[in-house]
């Protein structure tokens, strides 16, 4: 009988069939041994860059070619993970006194302040373009600006008249209003200050609740506190509920940073020259992200319907973190300095304006935004057709 074993032993008589079996077993053993040695070698190499990548890629290529789905326009359209539409946009508009007035803002090329009659035309234009909401900011006449910003509580102020005019003419469009005192104070701060120039939280909050209420009474659909006082969302919510404005929403400027990108806005509302000092005791430090999570958590707990991150592009990481953590509607404010930067880049020939506008707006959708406040809203809506 032939020996059964892995090795061929010469001298022993072997019949053909067992011989083949023996050979087969022997070759198998050699093959398995070599494979194991190769696998060990491969693992060894795989631990070291750049071999790791070469081995990983060659394992899938050419079966996987990501360029296949990018190779034609129809396929790119089919595979797009995010979409930007005019319905994603909120258009901030600056209101000024007078009639048939348009005042271009030098630091915001292409953006103007409009008198109420002309603002109504902008609201109609927005509606026609499929933009669902406009945001209003008043350029209060300087003679009405005081230390306490009391013009903010005048139910017949520029803001309230603009709200009523828009809601009368274009009732289908949403009107978002800014809740903060900076367009009404003689010192340009968002609240009431003490002798040292410190913005007083609780006294300011009392004014903001009244301000939100008169805006709601004038017809505002969303009130958006941009002041960063602690506790103001809860106080505003309670005031709106008591006033039977149960469906007036609050979009909280939850993570608003003390940013260098607000300059042109302050020109637009006429507060840049007035502002004493900075806003660092109430707006957030650009170094902080964890703190933004706390701000958002508090505003949601106090009754915010949606939250905003501001500015936009330099804070895409915050947008993403807020969206992932809270799973609530998040809006970005692509602020005045960001707008001006894109315009300046385009004017300098650094990039195509339309492409820059659409790419930056898409980045907000990709980061997780429900919508974006942008001065490019009408232009972008036209591009999106
Ligand atoms: C003020 C307010 C600011 C903006 C919106 N509301 C400026 C600021 O905080 O000083 C900035 C918007 C922009 O720059 O486009 N409450």
For the segment 150-173, the average pLDDT, to the nearest whole number, is 98
Q: Are residues 93 and 60 in the same domain?
A: no
Q: Does residue 11 lie in a domain region?
A: no
Q: What is the 3-state secondary structure (H, E, C) of 131-189?
A: CCEEEEEECCCHHHCECCCHHHHCCCCHHHHHHHHHHHHCCCCEEEEEECCCCCECCCC
- Binning pLDDT at 50, 70 and 90, where does residue 139 land? very high
- Binning pLDDT at 50, 70 and 90, where does residue 15 land? low
Q: Does residue 55 lie in a domain region?
A: yes
State yes or no: pLDDT of 332 exceeds 60: yes
Cis peptide bond prior to 50, omega within 30° of 0: yes
- Domain extent, residue 380, equals 86-384
Distance (angstroms) between ligand 1 centre and the Cα of 266 equals: 7
CATH number at residue 90: 3.20.20.70
pLDDT in tens, 124-134: 999 999 999 99
Of 61, 79, 97, which one is at a domain's C-terminal end?
Answer: 79
Specify the pLDDT at position 23: 73
Q: Are residues 145 and 61 in the same domain?
A: no
Percent of the chain past pLDDT 70, that is, above it, reads 91
Q: Are residues 111 and 66 in the same domain?
A: no
From residue 98, alpha-carbon distances to 37, 116, 309, 314 in Å are 86, 8, 33, 37
State yes or no: pLDDT of 260 exceeds 80: yes
Distance (angstroms) between ligand 1 centre and the Cα of 259 equals: 9
Q: Does residue 233 lie in a domain region?
A: yes
Say if residue 172 is exposed, middle or buried (CB neighbours under 10 Å; 0-12, 13-18, 19+). exposed
| 181 touches ligand 1 (CB under 6 Å) | no
Q: Does residue 9 lie in a domain region?
A: no
Ligand 1 mutation pick, 145, 159, 182, max ligand atoms within 8 A of CB = 182
Q: Does residue 264 lie in a domain region?
A: yes
Specify the pLDDT at position 47: 62
Q: Are residues 155 and 41 in the same domain?
A: no
Q: Does residue 207 lie in a domain region?
A: yes
Q: Are residues 226 and 246 in the same domain?
A: yes
Q: Are residues 137 and 274 in the same domain?
A: yes
**Residue carrying structure tokens 């996987």:** 64
Instruction: Report the C-alpha gap between 349 and 356 in whole angstroms.
Output: 11
Instruction: Report the C-alpha gap between 224 and 97 in whole angstroms.
Output: 22
Q: Are residues 126 and 246 in the same domain?
A: yes
Q: Does residue 7 lie in a domain region?
A: no
Q: Which of 13, 124, 167, 256 is catalytic?
A: 256
Could you confirm whether 365 is annotated as catalytic?
A: no
CB neighbour burial string for 41-73, b if at least 16 within 10 angstroms, e if fewer:
eeeeeeeeeeeeeeeeeeeeeeeeeeeeeeeee
Our count of domains for the chain comes to 2
**Cβ count near 290 (within 10 Å):** 8
- Binning pLDDT at 50, 70 and 90, where does residue 9 land? low
- Binning pLDDT at 50, 70 and 90, where does residue 295 land? very high
Specify the pLDDT at position 1: 45
Nearest CA to ligand 1 atom 7: 262
Average pLDDT, rounded, for the chain: 92
Distance (angstroms) between ligand 1 centre and the Cα of 224 equals: 11
Instruction: Report the C-alpha gap between 280 and 296 in whole angstroms.
Output: 18
Q: Are residues 250 and 150 in the same domain?
A: yes
| 226 touches ligand 1 (CB under 6 Å) | yes
């Amino acid at each position: 009988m032939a020996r059964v074993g892995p090795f061929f032993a010469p001298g022993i008589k072997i019949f053909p069939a067992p011989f083949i079996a023996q050979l087969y077993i022997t070759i198998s053993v050699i093959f398995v041994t070599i494979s194991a040695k190769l696998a060990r070698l491969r693992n060894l190499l795989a631990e070291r860059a750049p071999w790791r990548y070469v081995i990983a890629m060659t394992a899938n290529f050419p079966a996987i070619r990501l360029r296949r789905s990018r190779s034609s326009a129809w396929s790119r359209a089919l595979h797009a993970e995010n979409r930007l539409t005019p319905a994603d946009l909120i258009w901030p508009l600056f209101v000024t006194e007078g009639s048939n007035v348009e005042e271009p803002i030098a630091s915001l090329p292409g953006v103007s302040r409009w008198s109420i009659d002309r603002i109504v035309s902008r609201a109609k234009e927005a509606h026609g373009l499929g933009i669902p909401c406009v945001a209003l900011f008043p350029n209060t006449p300087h003679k009405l600006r005081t230390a306490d910003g009391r013009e903010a509580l005048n139910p017949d102020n520029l803001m309230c008249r603009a709200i009523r005019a828009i809601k009368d003419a274009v009732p289908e469009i949403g009107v978002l209003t800014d809740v903060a005192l900076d367009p009404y104070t003689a010192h340009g701060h968002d609240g009431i200050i003490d002798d040292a120039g410190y913005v007083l939280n609780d006294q300011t909050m009392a004014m903001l609740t009244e301000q939100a209420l008169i805006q709601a009474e004038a017809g505002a659909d969303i009130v958006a506190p941009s002041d960063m006082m602690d506790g103001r969302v809860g106080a505003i919510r309670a005031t709106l509920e008591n006033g039977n404005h149960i469906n007036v929403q609050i979009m909280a400027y939850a993570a608003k940073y003390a940013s260098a990108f607000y300059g042109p806005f302050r020109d637009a509302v006429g507060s840049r020259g007035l502002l004493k000092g900075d806003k660092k005791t109430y707006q957030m430090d650009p170094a902080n992200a964890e703190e933004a999570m706390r701000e958002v958590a508090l505003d949601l707990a106090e009754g915010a319907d949606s939250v905003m991150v501001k500015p936009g592009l330099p804070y895409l990481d915050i947008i993403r973190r807020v969206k992932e953590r809270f799973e609530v509607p998040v809006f970005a404010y692509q602020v005045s300095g960001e707008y001006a930067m894109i315009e300046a880049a385009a004017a300098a020939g650094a990039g195509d304006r339309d492409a820059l506008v659409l790419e930056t707006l898409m980045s907000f959708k990709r980061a997780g935004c429900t919508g974006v406040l942008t001065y490019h809203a009408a232009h972008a809506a036209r591009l999106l057709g």
